Amino acid sequence: MCHLKICSLNLRKLIVMIFLFLLTLPSHSGVLKKEDVIAAFPSPYIVGDKDEALPVWPLYQQISTDTPLVGYAFESIDMAAVPGFAGIPYNLLVAMDPEGTFISIRVLSHHEPVFLEGLGEKPLIDFAKQYSGISLMQNIKIDAKPTLAQRENKANAYIDGVTKATASVRIFNQSVLSSSLTVAREKMGFAKGRDPDLIARIKSDLYEPMSWQQLVDEGLITRFTFTNKQVEEMFVGTIGEGQDEEGLAAPEEEFIELFIANLSVPMVGRNLLLPEAWAYLQESTAQNDQVILVIGNGRFSFVGEDFVRGKVPERISLHQSELPVEIRDFDLSDRLDLFELDYQIKLPEPLDDHEWKAFHIIGQAGLDPAYPYEFKLHVPRQKGWLYPETVVKDLDLKTELSADYYVAAESDNKTWHSLWAGRTTDIVILLVGLSVLTIVLIRYQLLTKSQQHLRWFRPLYLLYTLVFIGWYAQGQLSIVNITGVLQAWLAGRSLEFFLYDPMTVIIWAYIGLTFFVWGRGTFCGWLCPFGALQELIGKLLAFLKLPQVKVSDQLDARLKWIKYLVLIGILAVAVVSVPLTGSVVEIEPFKTSITLIFDRSWPFVLWAVVLLSLSLFVYKGYCRYICPLGAGMAIFGKLRIYNWLPRRDECGSPCQLCNKRCEYQSIERSGKIDYNECFQCLDCVVIYDDDKQCVPLVVAKRGRKLKVKQVA
């Protein structure tokens, strides 16, 4: 048997060679041909030829003798290959109409572990069906619990998630939005220059009381005025010239006065709105939405007499990067109490009778606070009476937000931020639990000075790990995390898929740091939900005084190599076959017992039960002998910079008590602790500090003069 260090070195060389080969292979791309799309969209649809510039198929429909464009169909992987939870992107067939409303979404392929022989594919297919009829111009909220007023607000769309598959459906949603917005920016006039995931963000915590004039002086409210003469000059040389008799009679009089302000900036919104109205604004809009206030006065209405509440205004529009950004009236008609009472803008007295409207821009439109907001006021004029000719000229209204009020665009401004924000409570509970564990491992004497302290604390913490981290928060780390990173790296994809599962990210970050301090045992002994389940079963058997098998030291040493072979096998499969990887990782029972809580087909449940049954006879047998993740943890655990558990010269010679008592058989006959196999249960430290158990202390207590020396 080769030494572990030599084996792992050779393995790394082999994997690197394979990596270099696979990196030369083409990346993922669409798989459908035109006939496949025709089969997916039969009559009355007519599928056009694939666009040469952008891989989309136009969809037409036969209506009488006309065949208007009714939509676009495309594969999500062509537009945005967002890696899934296993590191492999979804491939979805997305169809949406020219206005950005989804016609249908179908799953072509995926490698999400929870939907492969887990929950099955039906929940995923049902989840995809919910997108039909939803518009890209709406805020899509997953698993939200909206109030009645929120549901009636058409700016939002609510989709039911899939229990036990939170990260996977969030990545699905990101795949849909990212790919669809790519098409929308190219084909439908969405803000082409701005990826909504890579724009500046308005600072949400910057506020101080300011008056109207102070807001104007600060540039947070921009004023525009236009005289009749200025407007008339725009129409010179057109049919509209000389058609405004009132303006010609008073050329220096005011045609329109406008004020524009961004209510989503707290310095503006909180100073212009009553607290109840500001709270309603926050409740009714998504994190990256913006609401723009426009106030007007003069001869010309900026919305017009025919304006319909909740609709897109015809007389005023917003542009950025020379492309239109849709603005829609922030409709409060269903909340007349707020509109009439609480939603009144706190205007200075001279502006009390001015007309005002609030316009909503959703985050998906990609409106960037770091770039100028280019409004256009469309002024029409007509000539003639029976069949009048019309000409429209634009007044330019350009406003900018000071850099003091936004955070510049960063590469990690991704939509996973909302998922983290939505799990704030879970994250706080996890961080508290990790803080407690850190204190315990640093000041382990707090527990080990009394066997009773450890006897109560450890089972309680393992229950926290099993119930909260595992069953509730779905924070079970897995070999799938490693294979996912490996396969994403091989394909040259981003590792951002990890960020959709905050529990996993935080635990991996914590474990990554503790490798240097305590080694492998921090996760395997304290933070692994399946390991906790095994150990709790073992403690129950001990309470019932049921005997367990004690494997001989020689056999134990050989069996512990199995997990390294399993790890090598899984990594090799992950390098050469994505589909097969989904099968071989099932050697882990984590998905069955922790993620799905045994709600799965019987072969997987049987395998999990067999492995748990193993712990009835061999203490934590799966963790010690089979677990590939544990093997990986042991390899990374070699980063540990010092041996932190206390030992004495007498440990191993002559005393063998810790060696005999260690359930993990990680203490050698010499007294040395094998940190690659140690689960940090601290039982040996309790013995070390107990003058009724530790042989050297017992002997010293009896009066014999033995030199007691603690060694590093």
Mean pLDDT, the chain, whole residue set: 82
Nearest to 596, CA basis, from 83, 113, 170, 160: 113
Residue 708's pLDDT band, with cuts at 50, 70 and 90, is very low
Alpha helices in 210-259 (DSSP H): 212-217, 228-234, 245-249
Q: Which two tokens stand for residue 300?
A: 């010309």
pLDDT at residue 7, as a whole number: 45
Q: Which two tokens stand for residue 442?
A: 């640093």
Residue 212's pLDDT band, with cuts at 50, 70 and 90, is very high
What is the widest separation between alpha-carbon atoms in the chain? 121
Point out which residues pair with 56 in neighbouring strands: 74
pLDDT at residue 643, as a whole number: 87
- Provide the edge-to-edge strand list for the sheet that holds 389-399: 323-325, 316-320, 373-383, 389-399
Residue 580's pLDDT band, with cuts at 50, 70 and 90, is confident
Mean pLDDT of 571-590: 86
Mean pLDDT of 507-535: 92
Q: Does 238 have pLDDT greater than 50?
A: yes
Cβ-contact 218, 402 below 8 angstroms: yes
Cβ-contact 81, 488 below 8 angstroms: no
Q: Does 711 have pLDDT greater than 60?
A: no
Cβ-contact 136, 98 below 8 angstroms: no
Q: How far apart are CA 532 and CA 703, in angstroms?
A: 42
312 by Cβ neighbours in 10 Å (0-12 / 13-18 / 19+) ranks as: middle
Q: Does 20 have pLDDT greater than 80?
A: no
Least confident of 290-299, 559-568, 571-580: 571-580
pLDDT at residue 190, as a whole number: 63
Q: How far apart are CA 387 and CA 332, in angstroms?
A: 37
Mean pLDDT of 221-226: 95
Q: Does 679 have pLDDT greater than 60?
A: yes
**Which tens digits make up the pLDDT trace of 325-337?**
778 888 544 443 4
**Which tens digits make up the pLDDT trace of 78-94?**
887 777 766 678 899 99
Mean pLDDT of 494-520: 86
pLDDT at residue 293, as a whole number: 93
pLDDT at residue 597, as a whole number: 83
The proportion of the chain whose per-residue pLDDT surpasses 70, expressed as a percent, equals 85
Residue 281's pLDDT band, with cuts at 50, 70 and 90, is confident
Residue that wins the pLDDT comparison between 408 and 229:
229
pLDDT at residue 230, as a whole number: 94
